[in-house]
Amino acid sequence: MTRQGRAPFYVGYLKTPRALLAFLAIVVGGVLGVSAVLAVTLVVAQDDWGDAGFQWGDGYQTRTGILKVEPYPVLFLPPDAAYPQGRAIPLSGEGKRGVRDKAADLDGKPVDIGGFLLRAGDRDMLQVGGEVDLRPARDRSALAGFSGPSSEAVGKRTLRGEIVDSKCYLGAMRPGEGKTHKLCANLCLIGGIPPMFVVYRADGPPEVLLLADLQGGPVTDALLDDTARYVELSGTVERRADLLVFRVDPATLKHL
């Protein structure tokens, strides 16, 4: 036992001894300093999640094209100089909702679509809503006889990547992928947002494929437990305009 008769004794409801005050000031200053360094480190050290986002700056957009409902609603634009294969724009509703209900009667038909764009890399998505929303096309002349894309088989593939909800991944949230976002991804998918498979590549931006089941229909329910993880899936890939569609057999899914 050391002699401590002269050490300052602290009682909360009495005046704090001077010697202790100096010590406590150092402790408080130290903790505040470490807190500041911690806050800066944790912000600066975050991964780069890319620059996907809503294109609010472009304003309200309208497009006219052919609507395909399966596996998930996608608008196809006729080929032009910039997109000789034609262009595919997956569709989402507002919030965590898809547009399958609105689209059901217009499958394969020319439609006008209005809303706001989301973009990641060169992949666009349209959040349908507002004045034009989703309606039969009023003026088909721009389509110049275009009646929708042909499907071109790419072949059987086994791919590794992450199942994401396309809306968040393409810019509604950042990050719109990964475990912390899994809760949100599942809500979006349950709400009808098209699921996509993101294949990360060492040599360039990730490849993004629209998911479907082997028959080419929606596959959401079978994949909900496996979103936001690194997984392997097997199936066949086909190209529709500039969009790759990955028809998968959920039974082939493997966690990596």
Partner 1 sequence: MSVRYRPVQWNRSKVVYDTCLGVGVALYLLIYLRWAPGLVEPPLIGGAELRMRAFGTCAFWMLTLILCIGPLARLDRRFLPVLYNRRHFGVLTFFVAVAHLYTVLGWYTAFSPIDPWVALLGSNTDLSFLGFPFEWLGIAALTVLFAMAATSHDFWLAFLTPPVWKRLHMLVYAAYGLVVMHVTLGVLQAEASLAYGAMIGISLAVVAGLHVVAGRVEARRDTAPVSDADGWVQVARIDELEDGVGRTVTLPGGERAAVFRHGDKISALSNACAHQNGPLGEGRILDGCVTCPWHGFQYDPETGRAPAPFTEKVATYRLRRDGDRLLIDPRALPPGTRTEPVRLAEAVS
Scanning the structure block, which residue is given the tokens 């996907």?
52
Binding status of residue 226 toward partner 1 by CB under 8 A: yes
Binding status of residue 157 toward partner 1 by CB under 8 A: no
Among 18, 45, 141, 203, binds partner 1 (CB under 8 A): 45
Q: Is 19 or 214 the residue whose CB approaches partner 1 more closely? A: 19
* SS3 assignment, position 148: coil
* SS3 assignment, position 230: strand
What whole-number distance in Å separates Cα of residue 98 and Cα of residue 73? 8
Stretch touching partner 1 by CB under 8 A, among 143-151, 176-184, 196-204, 234-242: 176-184
Stretch touching partner 1 by CB under 8 A, among 55-63, 108-116, 126-134, 223-231: 223-231
**Degrees to nearest 5, angle at CA 248 with 247 and 249:** 140
Residues 115-144 binding partner 1 (CB under 8 A) are: none
Q: Is 60 or 230 the residue whose CB approaches partner 1 more closely? A: 230
* SS3 assignment, position 136: strand
Q: Is 58 or 107 the residue whose CB approaches partner 1 more closely? A: 58
Closest separation between CB of residue 238 and partner 1, Å? Answer: 29
Using a 10 angstrom Cβ sphere, with 0-12 exposed, 13-18 middle and 19 or more buried, the burial of residue 221 is: exposed
What whole-number distance in Å separates Cα of residue 212 and Cα of residue 220? 8
Q: Is 100 or 174 the residue whose CB approaches partner 1 more closely? A: 174
* Per-residue x/- track, 69-108, partner 1 (CB under 8 A): -------------------------xxxx-----------
Task: Give Cβ neighbours of residue 68 (< 8 Å, ≥ 6 apart).
Answer: 74, 76, 107, 108, 148, 149, 240
Binding status of residue 182 toward partner 1 by CB under 8 A: yes
Stretch touching partner 1 by CB under 8 A, among 79-87, 126-134, 204-212, 221-229: 221-229
What whole-number distance in Å separates Cα of residue 27 and Cα of residue 29? 5
- The H or E element containing residue 25 is helix 18-44
Q: Site residues (CB under 8 A) for partner 1?
A: 1, 3-5, 7-16, 20, 23-24, 27-28, 31-32, 35-36, 38-51, 53, 94-97, 173-175, 177-184, 186-188, 190-191, 224-226, 228-229, 255
